[in-house]
Structure 1
């Protein structure tokens, strides 16, 4: 084996790269981060930068590319967004103090879930990293946002519930143990946009994980953290902490709490429901505008915006907690002057949570601290205004909100009001804060005066009118004399540099001044940096107080946002009950009414309970508003359970444990599923997981298959849901199968409703009003006309529907009986088999049979018989 001798620098690179094989290494060389070998090839391709080469001690040059260090964050973010990890390797020694090669080490590994760059993160959305551990048919889930310090842990008993938690948090990166089910991982990769990595089993070893958690949170046992009943969750959380220490090379001091939670404490929302109800983004273009959060988010702070998203994703089940929120919203709706004064005070409040993250990482800038001070300046006024509000939640906010006067005063005394962005260029520390800094600053200021006085003195002494004392970074201070005056230069001047039209000199006196001035400037910059770091670290020591205050401010911000929307959109306070009654007067869709003129939106009534009004069968034409109506009911219930007022004139909302929706359908080509398969998958999820306390929204079940198959499925689904021994849930069931209206009176709790329609000749007007009773037709041709289908097609459809109506397969037929029977045909081998019923085959067949039965063969001439046979043959061939 031939040993290849590498240069010392490349040996250093290879040794470090060996430890971070799965990351692209940004290797600091002077003012650049360089990448080599495979990393260089990958980075060159992904970042579209030039690939070059470098001598590395081998016969061939090593592939190399690089980026300037001052713009590296942009390049790192581009790689992170493409799913790569980036290991940042820095010089950890001052080159001035070292002979030979400078020591380097990886100071941080950046991954999608550990990205802290504020310029690349959505300030209104958390950036979660999730770890999943599977053992003995249970799943532990640890979830952390290192930018804010939020850290949660839970356990569930089915992988479907894990998917629900993934949908709730939308992590950008997920970790899991090697034993996790392969099909499960495949489904995650298909459904969610996140980088997914496997951790080796040793990360999840129980005793190791427990010790990691104890060490980080400085506790003797896990009971104090509430983890006694979360053994599997402890493994997931411990592995997550191990991964963070391994990649971040940091104490993570802002991760101060680990919050265990039970999924039973919140309304469960699966991914289908979140998507169909468009809670935080629209279904089509994934935008906030047009979603529920787009309507509700009138927050003034980034912290409030993130908390609002969390509340929407986690509706409450506890009545007292819901009412506590509603009490505050009531105050803010009824007292607009108080509300607007508080919102104005919140306007300049900084993102305190993410500041703590940057302090923990040592990346908070002087300007960050000044913005932080300005934020703290708002807190006393906020606290004073909420003092007189009489509610449980206002008292909690008042107690948690710490004005942090000492932190404010520290920053005010130490940092100038308009500091530079950089921490290494000086001009950060305020005069009067540090005596040595003041003295050195005086030296630099006086030094400029000294230079001016020396220049005037030398001009007078030498009589050289063009004499100037100048400075540059290469030569320092020097005396410059143009060539026309060289004869007047005295002997004490020492030549330093010759130019085309001048000479540059130095004198002992100028050299002494230079040493004093430049030494002071260099020294003051170093001292200012050290003082700034100490101020930043002092703020970091108050992490618990700051986090509590940040949560209080965020909570206040969300409640003010609720109050603002309630006032401007004419929302009302809902009554909350545990009896299962949903009674909504003049309910409106919160998003749709914002997209059209409020006066144009048609409100509707809704009544559902656990007894005689469990299921509403809703019929009517497409485009008439069935889907909008059903979604608005679901959203009003959800709004009530997140503690918001609702768009209605009156609402009494029974707490539901889950909302299920099956609205609309599309192909899932990536996994090879048709529209009908997607629909049935969603229906299966609902039927297997709904309880009597759930709210189910079903729209057009069975449309993706034949008429009788679809009708049979829809009928059976209603029967199953209505059965109190199976589900018995409150349900809104929209359908184009008018036959389902027969279920009213046959199934307990089923009632018919329809969309009111006004007919004007061949045209129709959708009245958007839900009324009692069932629709007797679908108005499909009229809807097609409204949609712009060509007139020829419309007229031909009218002809066909008239012909088909005469032999309607469901006319005068007992549908319930038909659905229970199988149509069979006899084959040549005298064996029967089930046969799918087809509308067009059946009507043609019936028409021919009826005409044959009506013929009087004995009274027909041979020519009449042939003509009739020809006519019947034409019918069959159509």
Structure 2
């Protein structure tokens, strides 16, 4: 039988984990070989070298020291790779000549529970999907908190809803079967995900459910409310089986599986989430987003819960009003609010502490943090109990104090804990008599070495003499070169150095043995006592997780109350009507800036469609977003930035805002816009809220106007959705009185001596001018271009006034018996002298196909045109 070498061990482990980068422990280093070495050198910036350099095919090799493991893990996972860590055993097995390596942990981007690898407020979720027929089941697991969410979608909308769920939950890893990987719709979904590690895994329904039972530590799954969602159960099983197959965890103490049903929440699709900037701005920053403006949470779990509430606003009037009641109760008393905030201040992340405990990976500092958190619970419970409030009372009732566990921790552990569990300093003095005696013996030994240093310095007249210790040679006496002649003959040299020597004596060795024996026994005893304590605490890990959930909800409620008090937000009236009414409505982010102008909004049975006209920069888009954020905040349970408000429950918010394209899939700005509009017209209901900021801009004027006109009619006459439509097509204002529920509104401006002042107020009635030329002047267009634009505008308006309604085949409103809309503008006949530069511009412009251009191409073309202008620009 051939002798097995180190590379055989490496290849055995690599064969078991082929899709992982293997960190293979060799002494004080973690090494990578073959393709893993190439990957590690690229991602981690390691030097790529080789093993067996003289061989015909040297093996690529890279490595890093053991203490850099966490940093390199974080970097490798961030780049989307999975990592398998193989440690070497401490002792040789009987008859073996080579230390064995064993896999201690597999890390994947979606299965992390260490806060140091995830980030305080982040979630490293693992998503899994299962499909059958026209249904999709989704499960999302957060190993750092023990949460599991499941959803199930059916019908034509299932793939878009899957994408919405994935973008909202933002998992770091997606598990799916090879069968689903072949589906074109699924490939379309994953092409729109960024930063998600894709993992294929083969399983069966039976195997998945067995894995789910094992991971939940239950005999059957009857207690899970998924009888009517078999595909969601399959997805959860696929995720559990994947974790088991990867040997990531033996058991996870998941507290519960939360079933999210579409009818229970307002639906916010990917476009709406992006446009409303709920959790991050369009540039990806938290600052400037809604959550960045209102996050006054005191805890990490509170911040995660706040994000969840904003991304999944409620659709139940009863539960919304319970949250509003609690916010009102807390905000009513500044003393109560301050007490709540003080009780929550400085709490460590209890959710993740509970998860670490369930994995048996808690350190001394973790248990001390749990003890300190539990110390706060009686006061927190009392504050929530002493008020007459259903939700706060309910949360307090479920807030288990775990007094015995707290006393156990605080009676046994020192307040200040070491980083390592093996080096002592864990257990309080007085807990165990034997441990105290061992510590005294170790302390006597330490004092002897200190006294030895002072004694020998004096006796030998060597002031620089030192008595020190290191892990390699133990205790020693160090003498510099200049004093080597004074070293006694009975000292034994242990180590020769450039600037001196290190020595030991018989007496020093004897005392070292006494000290090491006492310290080793004490440290071992402390470690065992700590493990026993941790095992006792671990029995309460699930309860601790539930406590953290209650604390997180209380934290969000006090956050809402704090914002309401500080910023004069008001409690909205929640109704089952189709109203959306607010007086003095403000934008929750922009109001933090000085000079924000509040506005009123009214959507009801007679005013279902607000057609808003006026100049750019006048505040149309802001007004649209204010209406949407009003609904999101109210249905999340928060008060709202207004003097008064009534919010009829909204089932979905749709947005068609701004310009975007999809270069990867060859879709122009206009195509993307039309796809968004099509999605809205197919999915919106009478309970939906629609925000339309321009329609039809990416095509010719007549095409765009026709589309905007037709869409307006369809929403008014068929959907009856609450709608705000900002447009520059002034021809549409004639629909008031013809399209059901349509009301004209405009953003007001003041004009003086040809200069504009934006008032940012929204009022009833149409705008009398779009002020496009004036805005162009404000934007810095050359003066001669602005003057020429003004001349042409006057000519065109004169031509338009001379055109008769109905001329050139202008369509009429679809409603029989109603008058026709305003006539279309006729084509002006203008003669313009063109010089050489103008001809060059004309030739360049004639070659442009705007509908087929990407933003980058349009940007480059614009600069090419400016170069043609030269000095004339």
In 2, the alpha carbon distance for the partners of 1:326 and 1:287 equals 29
Separation (CA, whole Å) in 1 of partners of 2:327 and 2:358: 35
Please list, as runs of the form range in 1=range in 2, the aligned pairs for 1:282-681 lying within 5 A after superposition.
282-283=281-282, 285-449=283-447, 470=467, 472-473=469-470, 474-476=472-474, 495=492, 497=494, 504=503, 506-507=505-506, 511-594=509-592, 596-597=593-594, 600-609=595-604, 611-681=605-675
Paired with 2:161 and 2:440, the residues of 1 have a C-alpha distance of 66
Q: Does 1:764 align with 2:763?
A: no
Correspondence 1:205-354 to 2 at 5 A: 205-283=204-282, 285-354=283-352
Distance 1:437 1:194, change over 3 A: same
The answer to whether structure 1 residue 110 and structure 2 residue 107 are counterparts is: yes
Superposed CA offset, 1:498-528 (max 9, x none): 9798895643x65544322211222222332
Q: CA deviation at 1:68?
A: 1.4
- Per-residue CA deviation, residues 733-753 of structure 1 (Å, 9 max, x unaligned), is 111111111111112211111
Report SS of the residue matched to 1:224. Answer: coil
In structure 2, the CA distance between the partners of 1:739 and 1:478, relative to structure 1 (3 Å rule), is: closer
Shift of residue 191, structure 1, vs aligned partner: 2.3
**What is the match of residue 162 of structure 2?**
162
What SS is found at the alignment partner of 2:15?
A: helix
1:516-568 Cα deviation digits (max 9, x unpaired): 22112222223322332333333222112111110111111111110111111
Where 1:144 maps in the other structure, the secondary structure is strand
Q: Match for residue 686 of structure 2?
A: 692
In structure 2, the residue matched to 1:853 is: none
CA 223–796 in structure 1, closer or farther in 2 if over 3 Å, else same: same
Per-residue CA distance 1:176-226 (angstroms, 9 max, x = gap): 22222643333333322132424244x2x1111222222332434323111
> 49, 52, 55: which is aligned to 2:49?
52
Question: Which sections of structure 2, spanning at least 5 residues, go unmatched?
Answer: 814-822, 833-873
Aligned to 1:868: none
Using the TM superposition, give the Cα deviation of residue 53 of structure 1 relative to its aligned residue in structure 2, in angstroms.
Answer: 2.1
1:349/1:376 contact within 8 Å kept: no
Distance 1:459 1:714 in 2: 94
**Does the 8 Å CA contact 1:107/1:249 hold for their aligned counterparts?**
no
Change (3 A) 1:722 1:256: same
Listed one character per residue, the Cα deviations across residues 144-179 of structure 1 (whole Å, up to 9, x for unaligned) are 111111111121111111112112211111112222
CA distance in 1, matches of 2:796, 2:97: 93
Q: Whole-Å Cα distance in 2 between the matches of residues 154 and 104 of structure 1?
A: 41
Normalising to structure 2: TM-score of the pair?
0.87
Does 18-27 or 48-57 show the bigger shift? 48-57
Tell me, in whole angstroms, the C-alpha distance in 1 between the residues paired with 2:315 and 2:477.
Answer: 80
Shift of 1:256: 3.0
Secondary structure of residue in 2 paired with 1:428: coil
Cα distance, 1:215–1:843 mapped onto 2, change above 3 Å: same
User: What's the counterpart of residue 728 of structure 1?
Assistant: 720
**CA RMSD, Structure 1 to Structure 2 (Å):** 3.0
677-686 vs 469-478, greater mean Cα deviation? 469-478
1:404-430 CA distance string (max 9 Å, x none): 222222221222111221223222222
Distance 2:56 2:43 in 1: 27
1:807 and 1:358 mapped to 2: Cα distance? 75
SS at match of 2:46: coil
- Tell me if structure 1 keeps the 8 A contact 2:106–2:247: yes
Whole-Å separation in 2 of the counterparts to 1:807 and 1:146: 68
Which blocks of at least 5 consecutive residues in structure 1 are unaligned? Answer: 822-836, 848-878
Kept in 1, the 8 Å contact 2:799–2:825? The answer is no
Structure 1 residues 297 and 471, CA gap change in structure 2 (3 angstroms): closer
CA contact (8 A) 2:693 2:726 kept: yes
> For residues 742-761 of structure 1, what are the structure 2 equivalents within 5 Å?
742-761=734-753
Question: In 2, Cα distance between the equivalents of 1:347 and 1:815?
Answer: 71
Structure 1 residues 192 and 767, CA gap change in structure 2 (3 angstroms): same
* SS across alignment from 2:738: coil
Does structure 2 conserve the Cα–Cα contact (< 8 Å) formed by 1:661 and 1:698? Answer: yes
The one-character-per-residue Cα deviations of 1:741-769 (angstroms, maximum 9, x if unpaired) are: 11111122111111122222322222222
Distance 2:161 2:197 in 1: 18
User: Alpha-carbon deviations, 1:782-841, whole Å to 9, x = none?
Assistant: 1112222221111010111112222229943238961369xxxxxxxxxxxxxxx9978x
In the alignment, is the contact (CA less than 8 A) between 2:449 and 2:467 conserved in 1? Answer: no
Q: Deviations over 1:121-143 (max 9, x none)?
A: 23223221110111111001010
Secondary structure of the structure 2 residue equivalent to 1:349: coil
1:153 and 1:260 in contact (8 A); partners too: yes
Residue 122 of structure 1: aligned partner = 119
Give the match's secondary structure for 1:755: strand
Count of residues in Structure 1 that have an aligned counterpart in Structure 2? 812
> In the aligned structure 2, how far is the partner of 1:261 from the partner of 1:312?
15
Question: For residues 12 and 136 of structure 2, what CA distance do their matches in structure 1 show?
Answer: 37
Which residue pairs with 1:85 in the alignment? 82
Deviations 1:287-322 (A, max 9, x none): 111111011101110010000000000000001110
Task: Determine if contact 1:584/1:605 at 8 Å carries over to the other structure.
Answer: yes
Contact 2:585 2:641 in 1 (8 A): yes
Match of 2:110, SS?
A: helix
Deviation at 1:454, TM superposition (A): 8.3
Secondary structure class of the residue paired with 1:372: helix
Aligned CA distance change for structure 1 residues 480 and 163 (closer, same or farther; 3 Å):
closer
2: CA distance between counterparts of 1:486 and 1:330?
Answer: 80
Report what 1:779 is aligned to. Answer: 771
Equivalent residue, structure 1, for 2:869:
none
CA contact (8 A) 1:753 1:771 kept: yes
The residue matched to 1:622 in structure 2 has which SS? coil
Aligned equivalent of 1:843: 828
**2:865 alignment counterpart:** none
Q: What TM-score, normalized to structure 1?
A: 0.87
Q: Is the 8 A contact 1:155 1:232 kept in 2?
A: yes
Aligned to 1:150: 147
Change (3 A) 1:268 1:521: same
User: Conserved in 2, the CA contact under 8 Å of 1:809 and 1:843?
Assistant: no
Q: CA deviation at 1:641?
A: 0.3
Cα distance 1:486–1:256, how it changes in 2: closer, same or farther (>3 A)? Answer: closer
Asked if residue 803 in structure 1 is aligned to residue 795 in structure 2, the reply is: yes
Greater shift in the superposed pair: 354-363 or 580-589:
354-363
The DSSP-based 3-state class of the residue aligned with 2:137 is: strand
Higher alpha-carbon deviation: 119-128 or 779-788: 119-128
Alignment of 1:712 onto 2:709: no
For 2:22, which of 18, 21, 25 is the aligned residue? 25
Match in the other structure for 1:865: none
CA distance in 2, matches of 1:739, 1:647: 34
Partner of 1:134: 131
CA separation of 1:457/1:719 partners in 2, compared to 1, >3 Å: closer, same or farther? closer
1:458: how far off? Answer: 10
Q: 1:721 to 1:418 in 2, by over 3 A?
A: same
Q: Please state whether the residue corresponding to 1:769 is helix, strand or coil.
A: strand
Determine the C-alpha separation between the residues in 2 that align with 1:816 and 1:530: 92
In the alignment, which residue of structure 2 is the partner of 1:834? Answer: none
CA distance in structure 2 between the partners assigned to 1:485 and 1:95 by the alignment: 43
- Output the CA distance in 1 between the equivalents of 2:446 and 2:199: 61
The structure with more radius of gyration: 1
**Cα deviation, residue 624, structure 1:** 0.9
Q: Is contact 1:6-1:56 (8 Å) kept?
A: no
